[in-house]
Structure 1
Amino acid sequence: MPPWRLRWPALAAAAAAAAALLPAVRGAPTSPPSPTFGDWGVITYGNLQLSTSTLEGPALVLGSADLVDFDIGGGRPCHPTAPALAVAGAAHGRHGVLKGRAALGRHSALERTVGTPCADGGDASRGVTVGAPAGTGVDGWATRLAHIGASASLCRTPASGRVAVEDSVLKLFPAPASAGDACVDVFAVAHPLPRTLSSVQYYGTRRVVINYHFRSADWAGVDMATLNASRTLHSYCGGGRLRLRDTEVSGSVLAPGLRVDARSAEFRGRLAVESLTGQAVVRYEPYEGVALDGLAAEVCAV
């Protein structure tokens, strides 16, 4: 029997700390709930291991979490009920700040060097073991299956735009203007990008989906300034590893099998990935891109 078969029932029960604690946040001015990512800024189906990092939005971790010198929850500080950090497995934190409630798995501990400015006497946010907080429930396995299905659907969607790599620039040319402004430009990047890639240039104004059909990439100093973060979705088909150095990823990332290794990286959008390690800043940006269940009807006609 595969190990995850043994682990997931426990993870789903422990991740009970997520959904019922996380109602729609109607007062959040910068980042309303997304049909794809919910209220979460970061979702990892495996582990989260970060140092010297900032997660502005709430994080859902269905594996374990190891955090050092961190700041979590500043984009939605001190929400009265929803957690800033929900970890199904063991969570360990030191030298950081948690600006919201915590819902943690067994054998978790936040050391005294973790500031919890939002904690009250009844909040299990510091140095405690939390099994399954009462009155909460999320099916982590179902969430992952939904994202796997959505990712597969994305990756099967025919491209409507044209892709070229010229002079270390990934160029994304939109569908013709006759397709209209309301449709979605879908791009398929079929081959690994050069290690010398310097920028991503999009020559349109529509919502964008970029499907990467290779299993690993190593980006350093890549400029994505022409991508609208709230209207762009990066989809890594087939999982693999993404190594980032001194790069700002503009747009949200949906890649349930992707392992992200970040060094001095910044994400402007939501993340749903297998794991996230290293040093990263994840801004709590809104996602106003495609509705995945209706993408086929929204793709630009060529």
Structure 2
Amino acid sequence: MSSSDIFFGEVLGTAVLILLGCGVVAGVVLKKSKAFEAGWVAITLGWGIGVLAGVYVSTQLSGAHLNPAVTLGIAIDSGKWGDVPVQIAGELVGAMLGAFLVWLAYYGHFLAHLGDREITAGARVPGPKAFDEPSATEERRPARRAEPGPVLGIFSTAPEIRNTVQNLATEVIGTAVLVLLVLGIGLNEGLAVSGTGGLMVALVVVGIGLSLGGPTGYAINPARDLGPRIVHALLPLPNKGGSDWSYSWIPVVGPLAGAALAGGIHNLLF
């Protein structure tokens, strides 16, 4: 595989993954969607199918890592690091592209949702005195736009309970399970040749979501969280709120640590 094949393969596969994954969340979250309030099971199934589709459209080009954590785990286990920068760059670009396509597909729904009275009533909208000096009360109260936004969960993850140690541990554990499976599949050439390996990974992603996704929304993929979070920060969405950058390091560091742990364990045992 050439570097260009690897890069564009990872862009394509990760974009499809994020389009379908963030897309199912948009369908469940946005009020005017036919899938509104379909629930967590629908979200986990959507992400699993996103993984399956992303793998099948890109595996012949790049090997379909679609995840810097998977890329890191494989590199640690195999000792092959040459393509890692190209793979991670493709994954991040693909994640951003997929998130942008979700915004495009649900454009009118985003506007309708963010224009809802429940959203606008809590937003700080500039009025006649927008450029006056803020009062002492306003100075003490942080602007709502700095808080996690009402549609941020469509793009990136957030914990239900903010506990740094627990949130980090959840991402480490979930990603270690994923990477151990990927590395285990690599030991069985028949799974890779038949294409069954991609299906197994997709099913495990659904399982991780059902079993371990409750605390943090299970990023288990640094590009999956960081790329869409950047897109959320850049998109011209009214009343979108903040992008929660104070939490953003956990769904990056946690999956990478979990991948390193899984890669080391697999290399030691096999």
TM-score, normalised to structure 1, is 0.25
Q: Considering fraction of residues, name the structure with more helix.
A: 2
TM-score, normalised to structure 2, is 0.27
